[in-house]
Structure 1
Amino acid sequence: MQTTAEYYCAYCGEPNTTFIDLSAGGQQSYVEDCQVCCRPNLLYVRIDEETLDVEIDTEYEE
């Protein structure tokens, strides 16, 4: 099952939308390129398993 969530690029600050795989567990991390500036963002995704609320932190991918 998938859902979408929004995060802000660690480089340019622009909002981005990403797909979240809810079946992949409550804590996930992966790299995704910004849809605006194309730089790689390291995303840390946390999913509340009861409410399915998604929280995303980003940082520069080195």
Structure 2
Amino acid sequence: MEEEYFFECPWCGEPVSMLLDLSVSSQTYIEDCEICCRPIEIDYRSGGQEVVDFSARCG
């Protein structure tokens, strides 16, 4: 199951969204901001069908 998750880019402060795969209980990866193209380190945990912990840091 995928869920669209909204947050602010840690680089430019613009609102962005990403699809998170909630069938995976924990995931960390780097993805570029769709606005400023800088790398963001995404780290999230899911429980059931919801995001229980999320962080987006400068990558």
TM-score (norm 1): 0.79
Deviation at 1:52, TM superposition (A): 1.4
Judged with a 3 Å threshold, the aligned counterparts in structure 2 of structure 1 residues 22 and 51 are, in CA distance, closer, same or farther, namely closer
**Equivalent residues in 2 for 1:22-41, closer than 5 Å:** 22-25=22-25, 27-41=26-40
Give the match for residue 11 of structure 2.
11
Identity %: 34
Q: Secondary structure at the match of 1:23?
A: coil
What amino acid is the match of 2:34?
Answer: Q
Deviation at 1:51, TM superposition (A): 5.8
C-alpha RMSD of matched pairs (Å)? 1.6
Give the match for residue 50 of structure 2.
52
Is there any run of 5+ residues in structure 1 with no aligned partner, and where?
Answer: none
Is there any run of 5+ residues in structure 2 with no aligned partner, and where?
Answer: none
Q: Name whichever structure is richer in helix by fraction.
A: 1
Q: Name whichever structure is richer in strand by fraction.
A: 2
